Amino acid sequence: MVLASPADLADRLGRDLTAAEERQANVFLADATAIIIERFPRYATTPTATSKKVCCAMVLRVLRNPDGKRQETIDDYSYTVDSSRSTGEIYLSPSEVEELRPAHGGGARSPSSQVPRW
């Protein structure tokens, strides 16, 4: 079982996956699913739109930057990738962990529920 499909990735990319991306996508989606379920076992039996979104985001970081480049310069052209997208690894970011945490009372997490009140 995986939380998202290659079609879900293509929808988020706004284009079809290349043949190479499609081959990698299945493996990366399985890896991302394993990471999510290890940390949040409830998604193994109850996948949600949020778990699908987070699974895709984890994989898209790698697909969009498969070589893990941080910066590239050719002649007078320079391109820099945000460091969080340049690791080349599948991981849960802190904001994704927050998204996957169950909300108190069963509702969606509101910004005020994430900040302690003193």
Q: What is the pLDDT along the chain (118 residues), one digit of tens a residue?
A: 999 999 999 999 999 999 999 999 999 999 999 999 999 999 999 999 999 999 999 999 888 865 555 555 677 776 555 544 445 589 999 999 999 998 765 444 444 444 444 4
pLDDT digits (tens, 9 = 90+) for 6-16: 999 999 999 99
Q: What angle do CA 9, 15, 17 make, to 5 degrees?
A: 60
Query: What's the burial of 62, exposed, middle or buried (CB within 10 Å: 0-12/13-18/19+)?
Result: buried
Cβ contact 67:88 at 8 Å = yes
Identify any residues that bridge with 106 across adjacent strands, giving them in sequence order: none
